[in-house]
Structure 1
């Protein structure tokens, strides 16, 4: 496997925490500790457009597929809905005084993970809270949606993963998943497996059809796994870590294929916080505490 660094996007003034797909295949959005929400063009790496600015850190960005509005989770202030074409805020909701760590959509619902342990379920059309799901006193860090089983799965700082019914919001199962906070989780493209990672640096794979039985446990990194994501074709997945590295894995065997780091690939010099594997030539993006976003060609 060959991994080549294509470009570096610089311009943020602080750590970059969030990446999200753009309205066009060659575009993406980024945000972080500087409160800047920037649109980038993968075919024009020198061009970054500021689409919004908020006064506090942004950990969560989510492009709403029906409205094409960019949902921005502002630390301690709530949600801002941005029309990125006209670069203006069209709605906002003072949802919480807690930090917003993740936002995921299912039909007319938005699931928002908060640092006070609540998962807020919002009606995306009315912009009202339908449900507060309080299943833990510690932070809700990450969310994944399984439309096949009609389940929403949430990773928490109490080391657990909880599975909720997508429509009734009832708690169905609790998995004591990790030895420390769960920072990231995602379903395989066929929704048969759930992959989780977190502060204990372990990558774990759970069989959805076997009531989330553990099928693989790998000590994947030296320090916390901040994020993981699948390639668009589903053949690979990548993990990003506080140990400054990105690792590429075989999606069928969970075998490590490549380590991408500073020494070998001019990678990041500090924690890698977020990944985005794009449909634009299957380029992989990585965002870091070093204020940059790197673009990787994996092949």
Structure 2
């Protein structure tokens, strides 16, 4: 089988956070992104100017989940053990805050006029963005809801939980339509492919699993992807590649059609991270991949696809 040769160059390192960096988010402009960390700081960066981070917000406790709502130009920040902060992306002023939980907030995703929030007490909280009020609390597990992915192709929402299961909901009704079992430990990351045909999941069991959405989420493939927990999965915007990152300190780049491993990014070969890699962001700007880590830094990788082998 022909496959492309992948090369990786480390372009920049972004520093300034004083605690582990937990999450990354595409910015309003193609060349910008946000980071958030255990220090409660949310920072906006220009990918070409690593020395010029701009503080957007500072909250009293760790931030694991942030989300941007384009229509309202709102940055939604999840403050652990408290709730949501709604911040105007341009003025950086807080418009409203909403107390929703006394547990951790692990992920936030938006769809039309709703925000879906994955909480450490197992609740999936639905928030109306017009009124900034809670419209529904969905609790199907006593263990943490860790990750959310939305599939516009079929109005499905997959949520990974620490009870080792993935639950799929209808985003229109919020009804539970499928429970997927297969992982042997907490599901830390779920991600639909850009074409909506597959759901990928990564777990504390170090496995990457691919589920076929057109066959009632039948298991398509199971891969021992890392040595330790698979923390996050993200696709390139053209849908040709995806990347995984892990507590084992590595980032791996994969072919999205064959699910073949193409490249391993680590400390010894690429001056990668020295501790757990927590989150990935594949920028809308060409083949630029960003990663953040417990080492308090963010790395900018340029992924190049050479001639087929």
TM-score (ref. length: structure 2): 0.96
Q: Deviations over 1:81-120 (max 9, x none)?
A: 1113212111100111111000111111111000000000
The question of 1:227 aligning with 2:228 is answered no
1:145-160 to 2 correspondence within 5 Å?
A: 145-160=150-165
Give distance in 2, aligned partners of 1:106 and 1:23.
17
* Counterpart Cα distance in 1 of 2:29 and 2:180: 38
Which stretch of the first structure deviates more once superposed, 173-182 or 247-256? 173-182
- Which residue, 49, 52, 60 being the options, matches 1:55? 60
Kindly tell me the number of residue pairs found equivalent between the two proteins. Answer: 299
CA apart distance, 1:121: 0.7
Does residue 44 in structure 1 map to residue 49 in structure 2? yes
> CA offset at residue 223 of structure 1?
0.3
Q: 1:204 is matched with which residue?
A: 209
Cα separation, 1, equivalents of 2:136 and 2:95 = 23
Query: Which residue does 1:73 correspond to in 2?
Result: 78
SS in structure 1 opposite 2:269? helix
1:2 is paired with a residue whose SS is strand
Partner of 2:256: 251
* C-alpha distance in 2 between matches for 1:191 and 1:90: 34
2:124 is aligned to 119
SS in 1 for 2:87: strand
Q: 1:77 deviation in Å? A: 1.0
How far residue 243 of structure 1 moved from its aligned partner, in angstroms, is 0.2
1:277 aligned partner: 282
C-alpha distance in 2 between matches for 1:287 and 1:168: 35
The C-alpha deviation readout for 1:243-279, integer Å capped at 9, x for no partner, is 0000000000000000000000000000000000002
| Distance (Å, rounded) in 2 between the aligned partners of 1:23 and 1:194 | 26
Q: Which residue of 1 aligns with 2:181?
A: 176
What is the distance in 2 between the residues matched to 1:84 and 1:233?
A: 26
Instruction: State the superposition RMSD in angstroms.
Output: 0.8
- In 2, Cα distance between equivalents of 1:166 and 1:177: 23
Higher relative contact order (CA 8 A, sep 6+): 2
- Counterpart CA distance in 2 for 1:187 and 1:100 is 21
TM-score by length of 1: 0.99
Q: Name the CA distance, whole Å, in 1 between partners of 2:230 and 2:12.
A: 23
1:8 aligns with 2:8: no
* CA distance in structure 2 between the partners assigned to 1:39 and 1:297 by the alignment: 20
CA distance in 1, matches of 2:142, 2:48: 44
- In the other structure, the counterpart of 1:260 is 265
After superposition, the C-alpha distances for 1:199-249 in whole angstroms (9 at most, x for unaligned) are 001000000010000010000000000000001111000001000000000
Q: Distance in 1 between matches of 2:181 and 2:267?
A: 34
In the TM superposition, residue 177 of structure 1 has moved relative to its aligned partner by: 2.9
1:107 aligned residue: 112
**1:92 is the counterpart of 2:94:** no
Residue 280 of structure 1, CA deviation: 2.1
Alignment of 1:192 with 2:186, yes or no, is no
